[in-house]
Amino acid sequence: MSKSSGLDRGLTDYGDPEFSRYLRRSFARSMGISEELLGKPIVGIAVSGSGFNNCHRTMDDLAEAVSRGVLSAGGLPLAFPTISLGEVFLNPTSMMFRNLMAMDVEEMIRAQPMDSVVLIGGCDKTVPAQLMGAASAGRPAIQLVTGPMMTGRYRGERLGACTDCRRFWARYRAGEVSEASMSEVEGNLAVTAGTCAVMGTASTMACIAEVLGMSLPGSAAIPAVHSARLAAAEESGKAAVRLARQPITPDQIITADSVENALRVLLAIGGSTNAVIHLAAIAGRLGISLSLDRLNEISDQTPVLVNLKPIGGGYMEDFYAAGGVEAVLIELRSLLHLDCVGVDGQTLRQRLDRIAAEKWIDRTIIHRFEEPVSVGGGIVALRGSLAPDGAIVKRAAATPALFELEGRAVVFENLDDLARRIDTPDLDVTPADILVLKNAGPIAAGMPEAGYFPIPGKLARAGIKDMVRISDARMSGTAYGTIVLHVSPEAAAGGPLAIVRTGDRIALSVAKKRLDLLISEEERLRRLSSWSPPPQPERGYAALYQRSVLQAPQGCDFDFLVPGHAGKQPSRQK
Ligand code: FES
């Protein structure tokens, strides 16, 4: 091993490199590692298990399998912890901590002597955080996801977190399901280890990691409890040793072309809207910008091919059995950049040439390009006087009858206001209205998944299932409805959303990709002149976050982590 690799990489500063080397070797030997192994390439294993993260319950087994692979290929595996982000256990929202985890991952990869790293994670924010960190650290890295859950059963019906969680909750709110039944449902929604069982954010990001080339081919959709998941972990360990010997760094894998491939697959799988933010953040770490206009061009050319919840009927275990990501890539081949290289050292072309001929594909789950689930891509970006820097709608999970609509705004000022009034019997609202939630964006609230806010109680009980809802928040990848998200600039950055009032008219056109607030220019300026920004948190991470977070189109990364970024400059409409 050279002096700048293995255990000798990045010596601790004592002002005497030889002393640092001697001390490090001595302390490494205190762990009982043989001198022979200490001379091998070192593969770090970033583990993110936690008692507060059900989705990472198999972390120890996966880390052991990776270690097995590393040892068998002649490397030294050394696991190290990073923080863990369990989606439903974090307050106010896991999104606030994605950048914190990305910094943890980046700095620990860079600071410790590893020649390559296997990143193990799965829950929504973990894979983006690990990829962002690895991209910035610049060391060869492989993403290994924990894999999706299997489905449960309730009275003969398959259940999977979390589209069915939301479906049953909506039925409960409408008075169709009893409390006793909900208790039974609760015990059957998430019945195995792994990430949410549908094409939510975790599954979408797993697919994106594979398409980018950062995970081993065929590994994204393997269920968490399937033996193939452990085999993929072992293979990831072997591949990491190859990368340690013949480095391919994240910047060679995550390129403008592979990001575009990932965006196309995101649209074809009907993936999560959150992935648009995460992909922008990952790409942004390498100076690649993700344009919403390009997203729309790709969306118009790319049909939805995958029939999974929340837009279809299947679950991730079906997707795996149907052929997984590689089957989708085969269908999209003519639209992909095929020279992109992955962690296995192969180009996408080589990979598809190898598998295309003999691949069996279940066409009830993964449709042919010529016979798609729906003709347009799953997500489109909107612009207009209400969203000058863009907004997102998941049209594949929305109600087409609501796509072209002008309606009266019914406004909630913030999350507290929403919680206080949404179910009040005297709320002045009709099914033809457009519901607007302000101050749930990155600066105001860390951008929680509050965009899928409920239909007002009195309308839900009257059988209304969907209404246009607009906010600067995000939405869970497992959710559905005609929901306009990520309105940018957000209200707390002085975007036009800040000045919407109940009674204003709003026009939505998915066909024209427009979102407009129908007030005069004079009125707009008058209202903006009395707007003031929210107070800043005084200390700690919350203060750093609010000061530094970028808007959704820039991936909500911190300004100081994006190369060449000149500091935060939120668009103000004054
Ligand atoms: Fe972890 Fe859904 S809660 S993936």
d(CA 488, CA 413): 16
Radius of gyration of the chain (CA): 24
Q: Is a pLDDT exceeding 50 seen at residue 574?
A: no
What is the full DSSP assignment across 171-228?
Answer: HHHTT-S-HHHHHHHHTTSS-SSSB-SSSSHHHHHHHHHHHHTSS-TT-TT--TTSHH
Average pLDDT score over the chain: 95
Confidence of residue 573 (pLDDT cuts 50, 70, 90): very low
Q: How many CB atoms lie within 10 A of CB 461?
A: 14
Residue nearest atom 2 of ligand 1, based on CA coordinates = 196
Q: Using alpha carbons only, what angle is made at residue 498 by residues 494 and 501, rounded to the nearest 5 degrees?
A: 155
Q: Which among 497, 505, 417 is positioned nearest to 453, based on CA atoms?
A: 417
Alpha carbons within 13 A on the beta-carbon side of 334: 5
Peptide bond into 310 cis (omega under 30): yes
Confidence of residue 566 (pLDDT cuts 50, 70, 90): low
Beta carbons of 52 and 84 less than 8 angstroms apart: yes
Residue 410 pairs with which residues in a beta bridge? Answer: 435
Which H or E run includes 470?
A: strand 469-471
Q: Tell me, what amino acid is at 66?
A: V
Question: What residues contact 409, with CB distance under 8 A and at least 6 apart?
Answer: 433, 434, 436, 500, 501, 502, 503, 504, 505, 506
Q: Which two tokens stand for residue 56?
A: 């990472």
Which residue reads 């192969």 in tokens?
346
d(CA 46, CA 519): 52
- Tell me what the mean pLDDT of segment 242-246 comes to: 98
pLDDT value at residue 2 = 58
- Tell me what the mean pLDDT of segment 439-448 comes to: 97
pTM reported for the whole predicted model: 0.96
d(CA 97, CA 85): 7
Which H or E run includes 166?
A: helix 163-173
Q: Which among 54, 43, 48 is positioned nearest to 113, based on CA atoms?
A: 43
- Tell me what the mean pLDDT of segment 137-149 comes to: 98
Q: Which two tokens stand for residue 412?
A: 């909630």
pLDDT in tens, 360-419: 999 999 999 999 999 988 899 999 999 999 999 999 889 999 999 999 999 999 999 999
Q: Tell me, what amino acid is at 548?
A: S
Which residue reads 């591949």 in tokens?
239
Residue nearest atom 1 of ligand 1, based on CA coordinates = 123
Q: Which two tokens stand for residue 485?
A: 């998200």
Centre of ligand 1 from the C-alpha of residue 368, in Å:
29
Beta carbons of 63 and 45 less than 8 angstroms apart: yes
Residue nearest atom 3 of ligand 1, based on CA coordinates = 87
pLDDT value at residue 1 = 53
Q: Tell me, what amino acid is at 521?
A: E
pLDDT value at residue 100 = 98
d(CA 386, CA 390): 9
Centre of ligand 1 from the C-alpha of residue 77, in Å:
28
Beta carbons of 384 and 516 less than 8 angstroms apart: yes
Residue 47 pairs with which residues in a beta bridge? Answer: 81
Q: Tell me, what amino acid is at 231?
A: A
Q: Tell me, what amino acid is at 16?
A: D
Question: What residues contact 180, with CB distance under 8 A and at least 6 apart?
Answer: none
- Tell me what the mean pLDDT of segment 275-302 comes to: 96
Chain mean position to CA 78: 27
Centre of ligand 1 from the C-alpha of residue 88, in Å:
7
pLDDT in tens, 309-368: 998 999 999 999 999 999 999 999 999 999 999 999 999 999 999 886 778 999 999 999
Q: Is 486 exposed, middle or buried (0-12, 13-18, 19+ CB in 10 A)?
A: buried
pLDDT value at residue 521 = 95
Coil, helix or strand at residue 260:
helix
Centre of ligand 1 from the C-alpha of residue 202, in Å:
6
d(CA 558, CA 574): 24
Confidence of residue 479 (pLDDT cuts 50, 70, 90): confident
For a ligand 1 pocket test, name from 94, 159, 195, 449 the mutation site with the most ligand atoms within 8 angstroms of its C-beta: 195
d(CA 515, CA 402): 13
- Tell me what the mean pLDDT of segment 60-87 comes to: 98
d(CA 167, CA 228): 31
Centre of ligand 1 from the C-alpha of residue 87, in Å:
6
Residue 491 backbone phi and psi in degrees, to 5 = -60, -40
Residue 404 backbone phi and psi in degrees, to 5 = -120, 105
Residue 274 backbone phi and psi in degrees, to 5 = -60, -30
- Tell me what the mean pLDDT of segment 160-182 comes to: 90
Beta carbons of 126 and 100 less than 8 angstroms apart: no
Beta carbons of 308 and 322 less than 8 angstroms apart: no
Higher pLDDT, 212 or 536: 212
To the nearest 10°, the Cα dihedral for 280, 195, 72, 342? -30
Ligand 1, residues at Cβ distance < 6 Å: 55, 87-88, 123-124, 161, 195-196, 200, 202
Question: What residues contact 512, with CB distance under 8 A and at least 6 apart?
Answer: none
pLDDT value at residue 111 = 98
Ligand 1 atom nearest 162 alpha carbon? 2
Confidence of residue 572 (pLDDT cuts 50, 70, 90): very low
Chain mean position to CA 20: 40
- Tell me what the mean pLDDT of segment 21-38 comes to: 96
Centre of ligand 1 from the C-alpha of residue 539, in Å:
29
d(CA 94, CA 362): 35
Q: Which among 85, 90, 81, 161 is positioned nearest to 125, based on CA atoms?
A: 85
